[in-house]
């Protein structure tokens, strides 16, 4: 079973800390429940690790968008104690993860996830709920063996 880089939108949606619209994606109560259930199952599965970068910039983003009352951040804190894996990520002068030229079009805020996944694409998956950018770059990501698990259609 793969370890997971969890996009911040998963934590936000699963915490119901979102308006019915997240970015360009509509999230209804059923969608929130799907993401919440995934987070709960992820939390409870000791075999599945949360992947963060060694510089903790992913965790910093989680903390900027959520607080300790949000279920998504509680899941992260549980995984920090029980099932954490870190991967090195090189950052550029603007603080974005460095990725190969074929992935340069990926949203800057997502490059840290991609850079971490590139270290072990066979064993690390990126999890997304409501960010349409991942789908737009699916072919380029697959060319680098990166799998993005889409929780919502």
Kindly report the pTM of this predicted structure.
0.93
* Nearest Cα to Cα of residue 151 among 135, 129, 125, 132: 129
List the CATH number of the domain containing 78. Answer: 3.40.50
**How does strand 124-128 pair with strand 21-22?**
unpaired
Q: How far apart are CA 135 and CA 142, in angstroms?
A: 11
List, for residues 44-99, the tens digit of each pLDDT value. 999 999 999 999 999 999 999 999 999 999 999 999 998 999 999 999 999 999 99
List, for residues 88-129, the tens digit of each pLDDT value. 999 999 999 999 999 999 999 999 999 999 999 999 999 999
Q: Give the up-direction half-sphere exposure of residue 128: CA atoms within 13 A in the CB hemisphere.
A: 22
Contact assessment for residue 53 and residue 89, using Cβ atoms and an 8 Å cutoff: yes
Q: Is the pLDDT of residue 21 over 70?
A: no
By residue range, what is the domain housing residue 114? Answer: 3-150
Total domain count for the chain? Answer: 1
Q: How far apart are CA 75 and CA 78, in angstroms?
A: 5
pLDDT at 25: 61
């Amino acid at each position: 079973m793969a370890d997971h880089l969890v996009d911040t939108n998963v934590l936000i949606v699963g915490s119901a800390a979102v308006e019915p619209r997240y970015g360009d994606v509509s999230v209804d109560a059923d969608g929130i429940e799907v993401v919440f259930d995934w987070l709960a199952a992820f939390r409870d599965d000791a075999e599945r690790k949360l992947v963060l970068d060694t510089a903790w910039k992913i965790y910093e983003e989680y903390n900027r968008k959520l607080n300790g009352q949000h279920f998504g951040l509680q899941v992260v804190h549980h995984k920090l104690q029980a099932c954490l894996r870190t991967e090195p990520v090189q950052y550029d002068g603007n603080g974005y993860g460095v990725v190969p030229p074929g992935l340069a079009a990926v949203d800057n805020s997502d490059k840290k996830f991609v850079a971490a996944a590139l270290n072990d694409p066979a064993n690390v998956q990126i999890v997304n709920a409501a960010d349409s950018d991942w789908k737009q770059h699916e072919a380029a990501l697959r060319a680098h063996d990166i799998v993005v698990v889409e929780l919502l259609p």
